[in-house]
Amino acid sequence: MEPDIAVELHTRARAKGLKYAALHCAYQTKSKPGTFGIKYSDIGHVKRNVRSKLENVQKCHKALTAKVRDSFLKNFTYAIKQNADKSEREMMCALQTIVPHTYGEHGNCGEWCRSRGGADAGHRNLPFGAPLQDTHLKISLENLLAPYIINADKLRTTGSSQANESLNNAAWSKTPKSRNYNRSKSFDYRLSAAVLQFNDRYSYINEIVNEKILTPQKHTEMYSKKMNEERKRQKMYKSSINAKRRRLELKFERSTKAKIDEIKEGTSYESFCGFDSSDLDILDIPDMITKATDDLEKKNINIVLFDLETTCLGKNAEILQLAAKSDDTSFSCYFLPDGDIDPKASNVNSLTVKRDINGNRYLRKNGRDMHAGTIGDGLRDFLG
Ligand SMILES: [Zn+2]
C-alpha cells in the first residue's frame, strides 16, 4: 500500500469514529514519522521477503538447497505464528534459536523441538536427516535473520492482507479497468456493490430489492441463491486437502518453469532487470534474412522436390518409395522393407508385401509386382 493512502485511510476512519484493532499493511510500507504509532506486517510479504533473501544466499552457498530453504522458512513461519501473542523477548528468542537448531545445537530450543534435552530425533526436513555443517553458511543465515530479530516486536503483530485482496477482486470484477468506469456516474454504485458483496455476499441484491420496495424478481432471487451456493462450494473445495495439494503442484510447476526459462533466457522478471545491460543475450539485431527462392533464382539453382512413401508413421518407418522431380527430370524408385506394411499406409500408397510359395517377398502395387532394390542402391541412383 502506498504510505499516503494508508495515512489517509487511517485519518478518515478515525474522523468517522471507525474502530479497529490493527491496520495491516505490506511490510515494505514506510509510514511517515509521527502518523502511526505502530506498523503491522503482512505474514505473506514477510515470508516472500525471507524466501528471496534465502535464494540470494544460495548463490554463494550451494549447500542451501531448495529442501534446506523450505525447512528454514518453515521454522521461521512457526516461530512467528507460535509467538504472535507472546512478548517481544519470546519472539526474539524463538527467532534466535532457528539457526542453532538447524546446526544441531538444541540448548535454547523451545518445547517444539524434538531433539531438546539431549534426545537426538534428527532433522526430518533436512537432507539425510542430519543437521547442517557449513560454518560460512551459518554466518550468512545469522546475518539474514538479524534484521528480523531486531524488529521482533513488529513481527508479533503480523496479519494477512488476503481479505483486502478478496475485496480488490470484487471491486475489480465490477469496475474493470478496460471499461473505464471510474469516469462514469455508475462508478460509486459499482464500488458500493463490491463492498456489499464482500460484507453480505450475494444476498445484498435481495435486501436492496426489499428495501427499495422493488417488485421481487424471481430471476434475482434465483441468481443470488445460485451465486451464494457456488461461493460456498468453492470455499469448501479450496479448504480441501485435494485443492491444497493441487495448489502446491501448480506452484511447483510454475517455479520449475520459471527456473528453466531463466536458464534459457536469463533473468526476465526482476526489479530494474532491464537496467543491467551486462548480460544481454542479443547485442545486435541480425540482418534480415532474404527468402531462399530469391537466392536460388539469382544463382540459377534447380529445386528438387521429393516425396517418400513409408511402411508406417513414426521412427520405425521404412522407406518404400522415393520419388523426386526437378524441372523436366523425374525420379522414382521402390524398396523392399524388412518389416510389414501398416494396413493404413497400404490404403494410402497402395503398396503391399506378398510372399510366394518359396517364402520370397515381393513388393506389389495395385496387384502388380514392382521392381524393388536396396535403399543404398536407390539413394546412390538418386544422388547420381
Ligand atoms: Zn532444536
pLDDT in tens, 284-340: 666 776 666 666 666 677 788 889 999 988 888 889 999 998 888 888 999 988 888
The pTM of the whole model exceeds 0.85:
no
Q: Ligand 1 centroid vs 164 CA: distance in angstroms?
A: 36
Q: Ligand 1 centroid vs 104 CA: distance in angstroms?
A: 7
Confidence grade of residue 221 (pLDDT, cut at 50, 70, 90): confident
Q: How high is the pLDDT of residue 296? A: 61
Q: Which three cell numbers stand for residue 131?
A: 543437521
Backbone angles phi, psi at 217, to 5 degrees: -100, 130
Domain definitions of the chain by residue range = 41-155, 162-238, 241-272, 301-383
Cα distance between residue 50 and residue 283, in whole Å: 35
Q: Ligand 1 centroid vs 134 CA: distance in angstroms?
A: 17
Q: Ligand 1 centroid vs 159 CA: distance in angstroms?
A: 26
Residue 8, pLDDT > 50, answer: yes
Q: Where is 251: in which H helix or E strand?
A: helix 241-265
Q: Ligand 1 centroid vs 151 CA: distance in angstroms?
A: 22
Q: Which CATH superfamily is domain 301-383 in?
A: Ribonuclease H-like superfamily/Ribonuclease H (3.30.420.10)
Strand pairing of 329-335 and 351-355? unpaired
Residue 1, pLDDT > 80, answer: no
Q: What is the DSSP string of 61-110?
A: -TT--HHHHHHHHHHHHHHHHHTTTS-HHHHHHHHHHHHHHHTT--TT--
Which of 54, 104, 103, 108 minimizes the C-alpha distance to 79?
108
Q: Ligand 1 centroid vs 245 CA: distance in angstroms?
A: 28
Q: How high is the pLDDT of residue 22? A: 67
- Fill in the DSSP letter of residue 285: P
Q: Ligand 1 centroid vs 71 CA: distance in angstroms?
A: 13
Q: Ligand 1 centroid vs 18 CA: distance in angstroms?
A: 44
